[in-house]
Structure 1
Amino acid sequence: MHFPPLPSALLLALAIHSGVSAAADEKVVEPCTVASSAGSFYDLRKLSILPPKDGKKPGKNEKVDDWHARGYDYPSNFTLNICEPVVGGLEHRPVGIDKDLAQNVSAYYETGGKIYSIGQQNSNLTLRGRRLVLQYTDGSPCGGENKKRDNGDDEDKKSAKDSRRKSTLISFHCDKDPLATAPSLTFVGASPDECSYHFEVLSKDACIGSEPAKQGVGPGAVFAIIGVIAILVYFLGGVFYQRNVAHARGWRQLPNYSMWAGIGSFVKDIFIIGTSSCARFLPSRRGYSALSVSANGNGASRGRGRGPEDENRLIDQLDEEWDD
């Protein structure tokens, strides 16, 4: 038997296996999630407040408004969202923020009838040791509320000249209290120049979790791909060899045609034997036309198909028996 050369198939399969493995190794980082080198995984997507979808009612325990933190000794309270822009509409454009960027504000406070952004939307979590933090940057210019400004766009232009802008740092802590029902967000403090604001979030969602299994090409699928490629190369290479070297035509172009033909005949014989064996167990059709033994010992039909001579002979026999 002539087999087509398979080194090319194996090389091609190995190349595909390497490409699939490389693609599987590339981890796609989901927004608002982070994994450490030690295997710890954090997922804070449940803390993100998303705007309600059209025609869809929120769940019973689903939060639909932004997170709020009391300022205590700070003269303002704060509104924030986690990894997403705030969903509550801003009454005014934040000081020093372009109109196109106003919809990406993730944290702000309001004082003196003006809104000050303390950070733009960001969903990249960071692990600093055992601390899980999220930072917002590019807020309103620092110290803008302490300066005398004109009204209108001139105020925004003067504020934009300040290169230092407000930012927010949020640290997350695991809540191990079994009685806790909802996360809590607390304002920790602000820097003296009112450029940096620090918050803490206590939540069960900030505890270490297990990374969800990613749908990808597994080892079984890789070997299946290799097998399919090897079979294709085997048949294509065999057809090329049988046609051009052995000068075969028709079905004989297939590699190892005699072997495949023998397998087909074997399967056919097994099928015939199986059907013949099953036919023995089928009930036979017997009726009034079954064969019976006539008076002269010959097998004759007592039903349909009986000739006149047979009927006369049977009548004579019955008459003789009646006379006796």
Structure 2
Amino acid sequence: MYVRLLCVCLAVVSAIAADADNCKLNGDQESASERAVLERLAPLKNMRFETTHEEYTYKFVVCGGVNGSKSTYDGLIQNKTAKSEITVVGRINDTTVFNGTDWIMLIYGSGEQYDSHCGKEPRKAMIMISCNKKTLASDFMIVHEERDKSKECFYLFEMDSSVACPVEESHLSVGSILLIVFAVLVGIYIIGGFLYQRFVVGAKGMEQFPNITMWKELGNLVADGCDFVCRSQPRSSETAYRGVGDDQLGEEPEERDDHLLPM
């Protein structure tokens, strides 16, 4: 009997603790878009931040309660340093969340009521999370407290985080896919041919390259074609030594010996 009662109590406490560590969206029914934005904030869950402005210190936890506060649902509190007075600015069990292209707005409502400002409505904390790919979370600070209106007052905070950045989808073009396939096929041809030439044929040195003779002939043909197409002037033939033959000798003038005959 007592053991069963103890188990029930532990289960209730565990359920409450688990619920206190999650943002609870306000309204009767949460939308799919709100749930998707909360899932993007999952890497920041239970991360704690603190900033000081004038005589106040602000403590903020993403979808979790601030330690030492009045309730486990207190997600953002204001502490007056001189008097150690804690004021709950927003609670995680009244959460609103939406996003844009490169930002996420996280709102904690149901804070403590104003004493005389804003029609004594509950306080509200608005945290603007801006895209910064270089950090998971940083630069938490208070920007402004709007309390001069009769209603809809708020505390505005901002911070940087990579979770607010748009997801970059990588799409390969048809040309890129063809280049990758071609590179893979060339790699298979070279590696496979090299292994075959080395271990099956027993080739050594450059002869291990597959179809080395064909590639040499192809290289020569390409070189000849390039030489024929790209050369702007005819190639000058080198002067070669040639032997002197009878056909290269000019006819010698006929010698006249008429002057030797007797008169």
Pick the TM interval, shorter chain. 0.3 to 0.5
Give the strand-richer structure, 1 or 2. Answer: 2
**TM-score normalised according to structure 2 size:** 0.43
Q: With CA pairs under 8 Å and 6+ residues apart, which has the higher RCO, 1 or 2?
A: 1
**TM-score normalised according to structure 1 size:** 0.35
